[in-house]
Amino acid sequence: MAELKVLVSGTGRMGRQVAAAVLAEPGMTPAAYVDGLAERGALDGMPVFRDAAIALDEAKPDVVVDFTNAAWTPAIAREALQRGVPLVIGTTGLSQEFMGWLERETAARGVGAVVAANFAISAVLMMHFARVAARFFDHAEIIELHHDQKVDSPSGTAKATAEGMLAARGRPFTRPLPELETVPGARGAELGGVSIHAVRLPGLVAHQEVLFGGQGQTLSIRQDSTGRDSFMPGVLLAIREVVQRKGLVVGLEGLLGLA
């Protein structure tokens, strides 16, 4: 089989890690970068395009992998799908409106797309175990911990975890509120009765703990990504899968047989 040519959308921390992982992986090769905010015309021995349409027409990729910003992802997705190029999207904070459009557009065009809030297989398992546990506990809280440069709070993973727990359970969790809140927001954000606490510190990468409480017992499910390389096996799997699929797959679970 011919080498899969990958256009990497984003020259940030994740984009460059993806380009290196694709370069090291047999059967695929990074063709170019595209980044709407890029300052340089070349990086890591590859061209860097600023315009999505030009990048696609020049690089002629088989797959686009996007790790950028929710403001940019719709632009690259629109241009890629118009050309029948499948997408692997890791950018978080995407709007419901965009996700709805992506689902309709991939189905109508018969092109594949994978959107995953977390490509670390350990994180996908953590979310899976949290969904299983959600049926057996009325109280749950999420503590997510990330590096201090992260733009969105809470993390896409924390939101996806809480939403998955709610869907598995079919009703909201019980969330006790203090009679007196001496510091506003002390109980964290709330999604369906799940309190979500976002920690931002230099030195962290991506970590999450899901805590359940019941009569005389608690359950903690903890996942740690200690480096961005933790996301690469999931991204490489998604690249191989997306070229064979039609329509939208949300979450790596669907590719791991956990859905």
Ligand X SMILES: NC(=O)c1ccc[n+]([C@@H]2O[C@H](COP(=O)([O-])OP(=O)(O)OC[C@H]3O[C@@H](n4cnc5c(N)ncnc54)[C@H](O)[C@@H]3O)[C@@H](O)[C@H]2O)c1
Distance of CA 12 to the CA centre of its chain: 15
Distance CA 16, CA 35 (A): 11
CB of 231 to ligand X, least distance (A): 4
15 binds ligand X (CB under 6 A): yes
Report how many residues bind ligand X under the rule CB under 6 A. 23
Q: How many residues does the chain have?
A: 259
| 5 catalytic per annotation | no
Tell me the DSSP string of 113-142.
Answer: EEE-S---HHHHHHHHHHHHHHTT-SEEEE
Q: Which of 25, 30, 81, 91 binds ligand X (CB under 6 A)?
A: 91
Q: From residue 42 to residue 71, what is the string marking binding to ligand X with x (rule CB under 6 A)?
A: -------------------------xxx-x
Active-site annotation holder among 5, 139, 147, 150: 150
208 binds ligand X (CB under 6 A): no
Cβ contacts of residue 239 below 8 Å, gap of 6+?
4, 6, 22, 28, 63, 65, 88
14 binds ligand X (CB under 6 A): yes
30 binds ligand X (CB under 6 A): no
What are the structure tokens assigned to 209, written together?
Answer: 């703990």
Q: What is the DSSP letter of 173?
A: P
Contact predicate 42/48, CB 8 Å: yes
Active-site annotation holder among 146, 159, 197, 207: 146
Q: Which is nearer to ligand X, 96 or 182 (CB)?
A: 96
| 146 catalytic per annotation | yes
Q: Which of 7, 10, 141, 245 binds ligand X (CB under 6 A)?
A: 10
For 219, the 3-state DSSP assignment is strand
**Binding stretches for ligand X (CB under 6 A):** 10-15, 35-37, 67-69, 71-72, 90-93, 116-119, 231
Q: Which residues are catalytic, by number?
A: 146, 150
